[in-house]
Amino acid sequence: MQDLSNSDCIVIQGSNMAECHPVAYQWVTEAKLKGAKVVHIDPRFTRTSATADRHVPIRAGSDVVFLGALINHVLSNELFFKEYVVSYTNAATLISEEFQDTEELDGLFSGYDDDRGAYDPKSWAYASKEAEEEGGTDDQSGGEIGDPGSGHVHGEQRSEQAAGDQHGSGGPPLEHARVLRDETLQHPRTVFQILKRHYARYTPAMVADTCGISVDDFAYVARAVTENSGRERTTAWVYAVGWTQHTLGAQFIRTSAILQLLLGNMGRPGGGVMALRGHASIQGSTDIPTLYNLLPGYLAMPVAGQHDTWQDYIGAIGSKKQKGFWTHADAYAVSLLKAWWGEKATAANDWAFDYLPRLTGAHGTYQTTMAMLDGEVEGYFLLGQNPAVGSAHARMQRQGLAKLKWLVVRDLNMIESATFWKDSPEIETGELSPEDIETEVFFLPPASHVEKDGTFTQTQRMLQWHHKAVEPPGDCRSDLQFFFDLGKRLKAALAESTDERDRPLLDLTWDYPENEHGDPDAEAVLREINGFHLSGDKAGQPLSAYTEMKADGSTSGGCWIYTGVFADGVNRSANRRPGQEQNLTALDWGWAWPANRRILYNRASADPEGNPWSERKRYVWWDQAEQKWTGEDVPDFPPNTAPSFRPEPGTGGPEGIAGDDPFIMQADGKGWLFTPKGMVDGPLPTHYEPQESPVANPLYSQQSNPSRKVFPRKDNLWAPSANQPGSDVYPYVFTTYRLTEHHTAGGMSRWLPYLAELQPEFFCEVSPELAAERGLENGGWATVVSARSAVECRVLVTERMTPLVLSGRTIHQIGLPYHWGVGRDAIVSGDAANDLLGVALDPNVQIQESKAGSCDIIAGRRPRGEALLRLVEEYQSRSGTTALTGNELRTTGDGS
């Protein structure tokens, strides 16, 4: 975070940092005071824009066009950082002859399968020697080239999986990394030349017509980022959910990653792509995942048909022949299984691998909601989340809750998800009534953050211990205690069971020291996460680093990337050497994974010979005298691998990392401009329109992401897009956002008197032009109608909203903060903006598109009771929408 103050230029896009992460914004201010340029690219003018050098308004959902045009600008004008790009990225790598680009197939990449609505990525692979009779030179040897696509993953299941976030600590596996390279970058099938062709039509004119950004504004940003990148200067990109919440959200972020690699800004001080996350431990709950598709440390949950045996599983998560630290994934997985099943996990039973349940597709929160509606889910736990207000299509969420047999809500306050049965909007419309809802609801109050010990992992992977200050009041208990207690009760209830299905529960290690109130010792849990030596001289001692983990059952550890947080028996997350006594990196405050590194891939902050790219951007370098890497941070590289080191061709693992392979978690040690594997919707980001859009895709007849996840249902209708009949019924774009004074669905803010008073009411932001067009008055009421629902809000008429002109046509955007919900318990309540959203998902990460939708806006309050349903139906009928509208995946070619 502090490192942003080292930037010479900061582009904030898809984030309103000054209002949503205001304390972190002090580092942007510090950079600005030192002369850095700050640019804010966002549909709305906010405090971030006000403090930036320039605000560039953009149409929601068009970011790939803008970023793609910057890539094109950098490539066409030779503004990339050549030495960095050639040495540290896969620009020189050759791609398979089979690969066909969206420019050739009108918006599809090769490998699209209409039946599955998904890609087989085989043709995106790195070129293999067998297919090559001409061209290219082998990387380091004349040896043969393997198939980079792992044979263990079959296309059918692959596309159903959330894939991108499985690579949270490194890239996907390749069989090995002996690739063909042309370091002159001239071969037509080098990644570099493919990139050039792919983005050739992403021009300033295309940006103007698609994003609504003037040629002048584009030139300003292009100049700012290229003038502030290179040996002497670095540019940082900052984003938040304004990028992730799209049907191609992961590709938004990929586009900026490509640009930052081309400009040589990755792994360097003041560079990088910074994700600003919104919850205290949302990074931690991804690392130690309460997510369906992951095990701790980004190990995959096993999938039926792909990982039926231990050998299948280990082969799929990391090949022994690829480079880098993922080759030891077997040691990480065995250590995890030892942590969970102790002595019951043995070599003979494949470390109890069969105890793990198997996935058969995507089981994300939205799929689960639909399973509730279908009566397949009986019981549900809500742990500090309020989906009745905070999830997309909140109406569908509430209706799902009403179908459960039982619901456990653990929250500090009486949130709407706990009271839906008596005061939800569906009670008012008559769709639900308390007397008909079978759901039993248990409300169990939790301890607050000051009433328990534990760690949060903040947005830059740093674990910080928070100390318990007081005991929790009344029935309040920590979630640690709740789950420890529940586990003990489940084990006791099944103690006599001989059913094989109960073995994983009965054999589970589940004994933590507890205090007089039954609250387990959080440090004991963190020690288990860190891991131990189980045998040998050091038996019982904590592991110091994940490199000590073994695949032979002699170590345990619950999350390999967190190993080291308890090195030498010291809880390093509780390190609190004051910042003023340290340098900016502040290595003695908290502990960041992996190995307390603060900037990932920081070997790239030195040139291929190991010297800093410049004195000004000195960070990590090779100390020739000491024969080791050193610097301001913990070097993210094998500590004694010299810059000149070249491994024997074909060497796998960390020993296979050459001295100039900074991206040590990638299977080939290089930063990936082109992703031969790992992204399910294409190896390069390509612009597609949102699921609902007033604009026809100007680049391809393929309108939207052809592999996005859609759910054609009568309760999930979409406005017709582009120029289709009925699209004028919902003529405006809406985008949702957060305010400084509230926290997501309000569970931690709408019950606090100060915060409720500061932001009491749901409102919409509209431009004076739209207000005039629709007769809206500042301070008056408006009703916003989508194809799912209608909500009412106060009107804020403001020039902060800019009508955008695209090819002569004006597009109005409406801003909607989404913190309020309908209920009687909060200090402030109101309609929920999330009621307007439908469910369509990014195929990589299964995240919903909530940053761009279509709506109408009319003056006045919404109708009450059943009349509300009639208003929504009247709009649906007028637009002609059906369950199929917007759900056609392929809109280009004949589809055969």
Partner 1 sequence: MDARRTFLSWPVVRQVRSGDLLGRGPSVTSQKTREIEPRTSSADRVVQSVCPYCAVGCGQRVFVKDERVVQIEGDPDSPISRGRLCPKGSASEQLVNSPGRQRKVLYRRARGTQWESLELETAMQMITDRFLASRRAGWQDRDEHGRPLRRTMGIASLGGATLDNEENYLIKKLFTAAGAIQIENQARI
Residues 521-550 touching partner 1, rule: CB under 8 A, are 522, 525-526, 528-529
| Residue in 223, 226, 224, 207 with CA at minimum distance from that of residue 215 | 207
Q: Pick between residue 130 and residue 471 the one whose CB is nearest to partner 1.
A: 471
Kindly state whether residue 848 participates in binding partner 1, applying the rule CB under 8 A.
Answer: yes
- Binders in 480-499 for partner 1, by CB under 8 A: 480, 483-487, 489-490, 493-494
26 lies in the site for partner 1, by CB under 8 A: yes
Q: Does 295 bind partner 1 (CB under 8 A)?
A: yes
Q: Nearest distance from residue 824's CB to partner 1, in Å?
A: 12
Select the residue interacting with partner 1 from 280, 345, 567, 787 (CB under 8 A). 280
Q: Of 32, 468, 618, 713, which one interacts with partner 1 (CB under 8 A)?
A: 468
Cβ proximity of 161 and 170 under 8 Å: no
Considering beta carbons, is residue 484 or 637 the nearer one to partner 1?
484
Spatial contact of 361 and 389, defined as CB atoms under 8 Å apart: no
Tell me which of 825, 858, 871, 892 binds partner 1, using CB under 8 A: 825
When the beta carbons of 522 and 679 are compared against partner 1, the nearer one is: 522
Sole binder of partner 1 in the list 771, 845, 857, 868 (CB under 8 A): 845
Smallest separation (angstroms) from partner 1 to the CB of 146? 28
Draw the binding track, 386-405, toward partner 1 (x: CB under 8 A; -: no contact): -x--xxx------------x
Nearer CB in complex with partner 1: 23/33: 23
Residue 154 interacts with partner 1 (CB under 8 A): yes or no: no
Q: What are phi and psi of 384, to 5 degrees?
A: 70, 30
Q: How far is the CB of 670 from partner 1 (least distance, A)?
A: 28
Q: What's the closest the beta carbon of residue 463 comes to partner 1, in angstroms?
A: 7
- Give the count of beta carbons closer than 10 Å to the beta carbon of residue 469: 11
Q: Say whether 532 sits in a helix, a strand or coil.
A: strand
Residues 6+ apart with CB under 8 A from 705: 247, 248, 251, 681, 688, 842, 843
The residue among 176 and 477 lying less far from partner 1, judged by its C-beta, is: 477
> How many angstroms separate the CA atoms of 171 and 667, rounded?
7
- Which residues from 128-147 bind partner 1, rule CB under 8 A? none
Number of chain positions touching partner 1 (CB under 8 A): 163
Restricting to residues 189-248, which ones interact with partner 1 according to CB under 8 A?
A: none
**533 DSSP 8-state letter:** E
Query: Which residues, numbered 498-517, are part of the site for partner 1 (CB under 8 A)?
Result: 501, 504-505, 508, 510
Could you give the CA distance from residue 534 to residue 543 in angstroms, rounded to a whole number? Answer: 10
Contact 142, 107 (CB under 8 A): no
Nearer to partner 1, 116 or 449 (CB): 449
Pick 103 or 588: Cβ nearer partner 1: 588
Residue 602, SS3 per DSSP? helix
- Judge residue 5's burial from the number of C-beta atoms within 10 Å of its C-beta, 0-12 exposed, 13-18 middle, 19 or more buried: buried
Name which of 213 and 248 has its Cβ closer to partner 1: 248
Q: Which is nearer to partner 1, 308 or 888 (CB)?
A: 308
Q: How far apart are CA 787 and CA 854, in angstroms?
A: 8
- Beta-carbon neighbour count of residue 281 at 10 Å? 19
In the list 356, 432, 797, 857, the residue contacting partner 1 (rule: CB under 8 A) is 356
Of residues 278 and 569, the one with the C-beta less far from partner 1: 278
Q: Which stretch binds partner 1 (CB under 8 A): 139-147, 447-455, 605-613, 658-666?
A: 447-455
Q: Does 479 bind partner 1 (CB under 8 A)?
A: yes
| By the rule CB under 8 A, 288 interacts with partner 1 | yes
By CB under 8 A, residue 477 contacts partner 1: yes
Backbone angles phi, psi at 410, to 5 degrees: -115, 105
Residue 833 as a binder of partner 1 (CB under 8 A): the answer is: no
Would you count residue 290 as binding partner 1 (CB under 8 A)? yes
Q: Which stretch binds partner 1 (CB under 8 A): 20-28, 49-57, 606-614, 649-657?
A: 20-28
Q: How far is the CB of 585 from partner 1 (least distance, A)?
A: 9
| Dist. CA 524–CA 228, nearest whole Å | 47
The Cα–Cα gap between 674 and 750 comes to: 45
Residue 797 CA to residue 764 CA, distance in Å, equals: 8
Closer CB to partner 1, 39 or 586, in the complex: 586
d(CA 365, CA 394): 12
- Of the two residues 25 and 192, which places its CB atom closer to partner 1 in the complex? 25
Q: Which of 142, 578, 725, 779 lies at the binding interface for partner 1 (CB under 8 A)?
A: 578
Which helix (H) or strand (E) element contains residue 329?
Answer: helix 329-341
Q: Does 646 participate in binding partner 1 (rule CB under 8 A)?
A: no
Say how many C-beta atoms besides its own lie within 10 A of residue 246's C-beta: 30
Considering only the stretches 90-98, 258-266, 575-583, 646-654, report the one whose residues sit in contact with partner 1 under the rule CB under 8 A. Answer: 575-583
Tell the residue number behind the tokens 């509730």, with chain if given: 372
User: Nearer Cβ to partner 1, position 788 or 812?
Assistant: 788
- C-beta of 720: minimal distance to partner 1 in Å? 26
Q: Which of 370, 412, 551, 883 binds partner 1 (CB under 8 A)?
A: 412
Cβ closest to partner 1, residue 19 vs residue 183: 19
Contacts for 104 with CB less than 8 Å, ≥ 6 apart? none
Exactly one of 289, 557, 631, 720 binds partner 1 (CB under 8 A); which one?
289
Which of the residues 682 through 741 are near partner 1 (CB under 8 A)?
A: 740-741
- Residue 331 vs 462, nearer CB to partner 1: 462
Q: Find out whether 274 and 4 touch, Cβ atoms under 8 Å.
A: yes
User: What Cα–Cα distance (Å) separates residue 141 from each residue in 479, 525, 651?
Assistant: 55, 47, 12
Please report whether residue 161 would count as binding partner 1 according to CB under 8 A.
no
State which of positions 75-114 bind partner 1 (CB under 8 A). Answer: none
How many CA atoms within 13 Å lie on the side-chain side of 275?
19
Q: How does strand 790-797 pair with strand 763-766?
A: parallel
Integer angstrom CA distances of residue 795 from 736, 763, 783: 15, 6, 9
Stretch that binds partner 1, among 222-230, 298-306, 613-621, 661-669 (CB under 8 A): 298-306
Report the residue number, 263 or 288, with the smaller CB distance to partner 1: 288
Residue 270 CB, nearest approach to partner 1 (Å): 16
Instruction: Say how far apart CA 591 and CA 400 lie, in whole Å.
Output: 40
Residue closest to 13 by CA, chosen among 40, 34, 45: 40
3-state class percentages of the chain: helix first, strand second, coil last, to nearest 5? 30, 15, 55
332: Cβ contacts below 8 Å, ≥ 6 apart: 297, 299, 546, 549, 557, 560
Q: Are 511 and 547 in contact (CB under 8 A)?
A: no
Does position 374 interact with partner 1 (CB under 8 A)? The reply is: no
DSSP string, 612-665: BS-STT--EEEETTTTEEEESS--SS-TT--TT--PPTT--BGGG--TT---TT
Q: Is 424 in the site for partner 1 (CB under 8 A)?
A: no
What's 848's DSSP letter?
B
640 touches partner 1 (CB under 8 A): no
Q: Token pair for residue 157?
A: 């299941």
User: What string of H, E and C letters represents the secondary structure of 310-321?
Assistant: HHHHHHHHCCCC
Nearest to 380 by CA among 395, 369, 391, 396: 369
Does the footprint of partner 1 cover residue 443 (CB under 8 A)? yes
Binders in 310-349 for partner 1, by CB under 8 A: 340
Task: Figure out which of the listed residues 107, 558, 690, 886 binds partner 1, where binding follows CB under 8 A.
Answer: 558
Considering the complex, what minimum distance in angstroms separates the CB of residue 529 from partner 1?
A: 6
